[in-house]
Amino acid sequence: MTYGVDAALCYASLLDMLGLWERLLRRAAVPVAYSQGYNPHQRLQFGSPLPVGYSSECEPLDVFLAERMAPLLFARAVVRQSPAGLTIAQVLEVPLRGPALQSTMRAAHYRVRICAGEGEEQVRAALNHLLGRAFIVRARTKKRRAVDYDLRRLINDIRHTSSHGHWHELHMDLACGMGGSGRPEEIIDELGLTVTQYSIHRCRLIWSKGQESR
């Protein structure tokens, strides 16, 4: 399944989305498979977590069913129970023994809108400067320790696509998967512009070769 999240739901965390989907699927009365053990839970597999505050039109979710169900019927049942802010873009049957979602993701495309004090030329110049850097060293906190990483390595491409007054739209192609994920807000921070507001929308996920049909 591929689903979208808009402004009404973009503040839900991954844990929140997990709970939301569990309840949605139960309301939809689709035959979800459950894990074994003392605390059985629905067998769901998400892709790379969508950070809080991002909207998206391409979030993947694998749902394991206890019995086969036509994708169209599944889609209808789920759409009927979907809360505000959630849209179902695509439902298709995938092989039971396919690779885990996270292991096949390679990159993500983002449409980023920033409101900055600078004009179009300065924004373009800042972008070019950023892309011209060999390394962009930043720190992330992992298990309560600050860990350095190279953000430049996670940038595939960034283009300025349009400007309207103080608002500028950028298209970012960033690594996303097991090897590390680039975060648009970190790139915004590195641009060095006076950004007062921004919005981030994940518009496409890029998969490993052979998994493109997702």
On the 0-12 / 13-18 / 19+ scale of CB atoms within 10 A, 130 is middle
Of 196 and 208, the one with the shorter C-beta distance to another protein is: 196
Q: CB within 8 A of 80, min separation 6: which ones?
A: 28
Of 78 and 206, the one with the shorter C-beta distance to another protein is: 78
Structure tokens that stand for 179 in this block: 């090897």
| Helix, coil or strand: residue 103 | helix
Contact code string over 2-41 relative to another protein, x by CB under 8 A: -----xxx-xxx-xx--xx-xxxxxx-x----x---xxxx
C-alpha to C-alpha distance for 69 and 31, rounded to whole angstroms: 8
Closest distance of CB 99 from another protein, Å: 27
What phi and psi, each to the nearest 5 degrees, are found at residue 93?
Answer: -85, 135
Closest distance of CB 76 from another protein, Å: 17
84 binds another protein (CB under 8 A): yes
Closest distance of CB 62 from another protein, Å: 18
Chain centroid to CA 136: 22
174-213: contacts with another protein (CB under 8 A)? 197, 199
Closest distance of CB 164 from another protein, Å: 15
Chain centroid to CA 96: 23
81 binds another protein (CB under 8 A): yes
Footprint on this chain of another protein (rule: CB under 8 A): 7-9, 11-13, 15-16, 19-20, 22-27, 29, 34, 38-42, 52-53, 81, 83-85, 197, 199
